[in-house]
Structure 1
Amino acid sequence: MTPAINAAKKAKIAFDVLEYQHDPAAESYGEEAAQALGLDPAQVFKTLLVSLTGHKSTLAVAVLPVTHMLSLKAIAKALGAKKAEMADPKLAERTTGYIVGGISPIGQKKALPTVIDDSAKELARMHVSAGRRGLEIALAPDDLASLTRGQFAPLTAE
């Protein structure tokens, strides 16, 4: 069990856990998950941490489709920050309690502002990391927003 799975159980939401054999040579964790599990990549979302300037929180979480790139301007705008940049991976691991490639937006050690790409709202279920490489959790986008106290906004670079 991971903190993400425990948080979903505690919240009594509907979810499924999907497991696959992680390949350490994989270049993209999210795309690897989609391919290994036979999922539409548009339904598999990655979790990225950003450092913020001009916001009460120094870190925030972006959840977006694995097929897209994060727009740093878009997440800064969504959170009312002056600027956003990718967070240092070691800081991301220390803050969330998860390792890179297995960072879940759910059950992090410290609650961070979370923004979910608004494309998720079109889906009945989405897949995010369940807290370790090779483990995904499938749930409704609104349940993810509820679990993370997240908001929806456009996050992808055109």
Structure 2
Amino acid sequence: MKAKKGTKTNACRILDQENIQYQMYEFPWSEDHIDAKSVAEKLGIATDSIYKTLVTVGDKTGILVACISGGMELDLKALAKVSGNKKVEMLPMKELEKTTGYIRGGCSPIGMKKLFPTFIQKSAELEDEIIVSAGKRGMQLALNPKELALVTKARFVAIHH
């Protein structure tokens, strides 16, 4: 299903352009409740189905994007290893919008200002569908993880605790 006219985000437009099927979810959000657990509760689904988009910086490669299940924690050492870095740190929040074009709570792995190296939690490969931010707070989209990897040129790797 495609998004309703007027509610399309950059991520939706890219998926439409690539003929990738997705389901759009919209919900009321608040500054206090933009984490994966809160989103899952609002949508009535398991936290593990929501994949958060985390933006990091590698000491050799620069910006990296990681998508991991909402109930998990990113393993920075594992991400460093698979991305060819010695060290990886979270991108400071104040630099998120300038770097990606997205704000906290509305950061999609699809349609950032540039196509950064992207890594998706390995177990997502086994799922039929995962849910990621549509690029706007209060909007999520569900799609096949292999198609997400295709559109973001991502690799499936073990990067979580």
Report the CA distance between 1:64 and its aligned residue: 0.1
> Cα RMSD (Å) of the superposition?
1.0
Gaps of 5+ in 2: 1-7
- Count, aligned residues: 154
Give TM-score, length-normalised by structure 1.
0.94
C-alpha displacement of 1:31:
1.3
The residue that corresponds to 1:33 in the other structure is: 39
Q: CA deviation at 1:90?
A: 2.2
Equivalent in 26, 44, 48 of residue 50 of structure 2: 44
The answer for unaligned runs of 5 or more in structure 1 is: none
- Runs of 4+ aligned residues of structure 1 deviating over 6 Å after TM superposition are none
Deviation at 1:119?
Answer: 1.3
Report which stretch shifted further, 92-101 or 144-153: 92-101
Q: CA deviation at 1:32?
A: 1.3
Q: Deviations over 1:90-135 (max 9, x none)?
A: 2221111110111000011111000000110121000000001110
Aligned residue type for 2:36: G
Quote the Cα distance in structure 1 between the aligned partners of 2:135 and 2:147: 17
**Aligned residues of 1:52 and 1:84 also touching (Cα < 8 A):** yes
Identity %: 36
Q: Which residue of 2 aligns with 1:122?
A: 126
- Whichever residue aligns with residue 38 of structure 2, its letter is E
Secondary structure in structure 1 of the residue aligned to 2:111: coil
